[in-house]
Structure 1
Amino acid sequence: MDARGPAGGMPRRAFLAAALGGLAAVSLSSCTDGRPEPTSPPPIPTPDGSPSPTPGGVPRPLAFRRSRWSADPFVRGAVSFDSVGATPDLRRELGRPVEDRLVIAGEATSPEASGTVHGAYAEGLRAARGIAALAEPDDRIAVIGAGITGLAAARTLVDEGFEVVVIEASDHLGGRLLTVEDRGFDDPVVLGSPFVADGGSMRSVLADAGVATRPFAPVVGPRTPDGVAAAPSTAGWDVIASAQAWAVGQSSDVALATALVRSGAVPTSDEAGADGLSTQDWFVNALTSGVEPTTGASATRVSAKRFDPDLVWRPTSQVTSGWTGLIEQLADGLDIAGASAVTGIAVDDEGVSLRLDSGESLRTHRLVVTASIGVLRTDTITFDPPLPLLHQRAISTIGMGALDVVWLAFDEAFWRSTPDGSAEGEPNVLTLVGATPTVAAWLDLGVDPRRPVLVGLLAAEHARRVAELDDEAALEVVLEGLQPFVVEFGPAAD
């Protein structure tokens, strides 16, 4: 594999000169780097020694890993979502070629599968086909970004015979599908999505790359702040459905929060029902453990018309071996310039000029841009001339959600009713009802019941807040959120 960079021991400048030699590097003058440090993932050590209980009875984890995508300057979020005014047509418009020289691609340009791995992969293939149709046989092509979209595009173009270089801002491959090895976990730790929502469309791709998956059928288990198990209720979702039905009849899109108020769906009753919980309790649960982890955004930002409740905790496939096999297969043999952030893109009749954060410049004939919506909507990368108005509108309208994962390994599965999770209907998605949680949901993803693993999902403003904390402070916050799920082995409360 020729995916080289700082981790490979080759000095960044020497590597960049070598990788871009075939793409007519114009200037390799020495310049102070001044680039921001990526913050996802941070170097987090696995705790040593025997676990000890926290004041709330939650044992200390044997191992701890987390992502911080919203604080990463090269990503600035986790997934795109449909904010007010976002439509499939707008996403499709964002992916249209610019001056027959440049194509933007990523999960955000997928009209039907935004925010998914298979959507991101398919958009890489689409971008490659589109740019290849515009290119001359001897054209040189650059790809910005070594995530799954960029690598899929580059792999396809190289296989078609084009000269391609991939320019990656961070020092790792895979983008938001970053997988790391940690001695505290039996299996690879996926710091992006541990799921592939449509395994069918990628089944052969994953199999060829040796990526192992298993079915994951979500069983939601709500608990109250006192640790009492509650039967799931649709009361909160009924409130949201009422607001969405009202929104569909309006001439223009509004935020879900606006629809809830204007439709009269809220305020809801705070009178406790037979389960000791009110409609208000279940409504908050639907927002914080449903809407927010699905979109990475609060109801004040999510489109009332476009949000799809059917996407919340639907059956999917869990990637158990990590994404490394697929990423390495796509990257094999590619020229990849790591730790090299593009800061400027200039398009003219003859080609595309790129400016890097180091001050280096290069010239190419065509370009695929796979930077996230979170990056595109900042001035991290400037375009000359500016992108077409519809592209600009798409970038400013499509939202970028904040989602982070926290992986914890424990000696025992204190959250299960039986140690091995063999009880019928054992929940594998733990949520809090009756209070507003910091952790939107806890996923029981331990493949081996003898080595239990919980993955906490942080969403929206909670994800952004925790991303700014240091490791120890972040760990304390998430462990506090586990207190309601400490149970004695035996049947859960009715």
Structure 2
Amino acid sequence: MGITRRTFLVGATGLSVAVLAACTDEPPQPSPEPTPAPAVGPPRPAGVARSDWLGDSFSRGSTSFLPVGESPRLRDELASPWRDRLFFAGEATSADAPSTVHGALASGERAAAELLAVAAPGERVVIVGAGIAGAAAARLLVDDGPEGLEVIVLEARGRTGGRIHTIDSDAWPVPVELGAQWVREIGRHDLLERLVRAGVDVAIADAARGFDEAGEPIAITRPSTSATLESVLLPVLEAARQAAAAVEPDVALATALALLRPWDGTPGMEGAPSEAQSIALALSGLVEPRLGAATGELSTREGLAELPLGAENLVTGGWARLVDALLEDVDVQLSSPVTGIAVGDDDVSVRLGVGDSFSADRVLLTAPLGVLQARGIDLELPAVKDSAIARLGVGAVETIWLRFDAPFWEEEAAIWVLADPEAAVPLWVNLGAVTGEPVLVGVVAGARAIGFGALGEGDAVTAALAGLAPLVVGREPTTG
């Protein structure tokens, strides 16, 4: 039996949002002046922007995942309301679409509906967090709430969006997305329609090219065939799942991959990747950037089944527009970090970092899993919720945006994946393929994201360019 979200079928189509990748407490600023190009290799970029979700005290990670031996039941336990006073939302509470924007959005609407089922006219509701989950919840409560329902959104940052972080700057020809970038699993939600209504441009970016350690091309997708990144690379993950199925208890994906018998790649596709290349490409191009999990921690049985699948649709018009549309006419108080929540029999007390406090009838909490694990909010919860918070895994996905004065590459595919386990930045998005602008976006996830995130900007750029050099210097154009 294959795998999709709960069953992970190879060759799935549709579209979700990989979420959630990268920001700092202070918005990153692009480098003001171009730096000189070295004599050999790619030039230094004229502008740089990068994320730091792990280091951001208001996120402490990018995604959530199921570690070895755990099940989606943990997400349901985290999502359930407590005493009809405290409600929970956020991608980590979504059993259907975790680590995606549409999962986070749906969780906000689900939690708001649960709250509305018990709310009375004239009550005060506080929503903690103005990310997509909090924004979706606020929209539903304001539009459908009982008469006189007061809705207040408290956001720790000086901006809305949470792990959606759009930077609009004259220095960049396109909006910089340091957080969520993709929409997948289209048939399972209406997110694409919502983006269109909000005036947000979305581009199909599914042409992919793999490269070996020497920078030589590996066939992944070809415009003249039905082959996609997933249809070529999912078979090796399915083979790992089958190899692990006979092992009890559950094993980490890294262990399952080590159990594989010799595997011949994708039948009938000339130049298809070898087994070792398929494993490296599947991890760098699918598992790590979409789940943020280290392969030594991710559950093969349950965690792999949560992998978001579907055509690569890239948001190019600014995710923040959707958040802004949802929060129109909503009372949002920025720079208001919540440090404590106390649930009583008749009300809920919300304490702010500046010493102020709110009294509310009900609270809807959208804090990321990493913040809950770090006890960034003082909150006494039932043991079952504390256990769910502790046992879920926090994933890491970081991005580095490089703007150049002119394109120096000839590769026409939108997605570049390196079959090199040692590459500092193994996944690149070529925005030139979909926007015509000379911008490359590097994606680092899983265990690699920790080391890369610790680098200073100069060292991070140097490491990124070093891995990029074999892919782009002196190569003929390739499209498939």
Q: What value does the CA root-mean-square deviation take over the aligned residues?
A: 2.9
Are residue 480 (structure 1) and residue 466 (structure 2) matched?
A: yes
2:138 aligned residue (151, 154, 161): 154
Are residue 396 (structure 1) and residue 390 (structure 2) matched?
A: yes
Contact 2:48 2:401 in 1 (8 A): yes
How far has the Cα of 1:81 moved from its partner?
Answer: 1.8
3-state DSSP of counterpart to 1:52: coil
Write the letter of the residue equivalent to 1:244. Answer: R
Matches for 1:195-344 after TM superposition, within 5 Å? 195-199=182-186, 201-217=190-206, 219-232=207-220, 240-261=237-258, 264-265=259-260, 279-308=275-304, 311=307, 314-344=310-340
Number of residue-to-residue matches in the alignment:
439
Contact 2:124 2:150 in 1 (8 A): yes
1:77 aligned residue (22, 37, 61): 61
Matches for 1:73-152 after TM superposition, within 5 Å? 73-152=57-136
Structure 2 CA distance for partners of 1:98 and 1:228, relative to 1, 3 Å: same
CA distance in 2, matches of 1:393, 1:107: 17
Contact 1:406 1:456 in 2 (8 A): yes
Percent identity, aligned pairs only, is: 38
Contact 1:107 1:123 in 2 (8 A): yes
CA distance in 2, matches of 1:395, 1:364: 24
Matches for 1:173-212 after TM superposition, within 5 Å? 173-199=160-186, 201-212=190-201
Q: Scaled by the length of structure 1, what TM-score is found? A: 0.81
Structure 2 CA distance for partners of 1:246 and 1:191, relative to 1, 3 Å: same
Residue deviations 1:370-416 (CA, integer Å, cap 9, x gap): 001111111211223xx223222221222111001111122333332
CA distance in 2, matches of 1:313, 1:428: 17
How far has the Cα of 1:129 moved from its partner?
Answer: 0.7
Are residue 167 (structure 1) and residue 162 (structure 2) matched?
A: no
Look up the match of 1:46: 31
Contact 1:411 1:451 in 2 (8 A): no
Write the letter of the residue equivalent to 2:214. Answer: D
Contact 1:229 1:493 in 2 (8 A): no
CA distance in 2, matches of 1:138, 1:449: 48
Residue deviations 1:266-319 (CA, integer Å, cap 9, x gap): 8999xxxx9798643443343334322221121111111124489477413221
Residue deviations 1:305-342 (CA, integer Å, cap 9, x gap): 12448947741322111012212122222222211221
Structure 2 CA distance for partners of 1:258 and 1:363, relative to 1, 3 Å: same
3-state DSSP of counterpart to 2:441: strand
Residue deviations 1:225-279 (CA, integer Å, cap 9, x gap): 3322223499986554333113334454332223345xx338999xxxx979864
3-state DSSP of counterpart to 1:134: coil
* Unmatched tracts of structure 2, length 5 or more: 1-22, 221-228, 265-269
How far has the Cα of 1:483 moved from its partner?
Answer: 1.0
Structure 2 CA distance for partners of 1:223 and 1:369, relative to 1, 3 Å: same
Contact 2:62 2:397 in 1 (8 A): yes
Write the letter of the residue equivalent to 2:49. Answer: R
Q: Scaled by the length of structure 2, what TM-score is found? A: 0.83
How far has the Cα of 1:71 moved from its partner?
Answer: 0.8
CA distance in 1, matches of 2:51, 2:163: 10
Contact 1:61 1:408 in 2 (8 A): yes
Write the letter of the residue equivalent to 1:81. Answer: F
Structure 2 CA distance for partners of 1:195 and 1:278, relative to 1, 3 Å: closer
CA distance in 2, matches of 1:205, 1:240: 32
3-state DSSP of counterpart to 1:186: coil
3-state DSSP of counterpart to 1:481: helix
Structure 2 CA distance for partners of 1:41 and 1:265, relative to 1, 3 Å: farther
Look up the match of 1:29: none
CA distance in 1, matches of 2:242, 2:58: 38
Tell me which structure has the larger Cα radius of gyration. 1
Contact 2:262 2:275 in 1 (8 A): no
How far has the Cα of 1:126 moved from its partner?
Answer: 0.8
3-state DSSP of counterpart to 2:114: helix
User: More deviation in 445-454 or 356-365?
Assistant: 445-454
Structure 2 CA distance for partners of 1:449 and 1:163, relative to 1, 3 Å: closer
Contact 1:165 1:337 in 2 (8 A): yes
3-state DSSP of counterpart to 2:432: coil
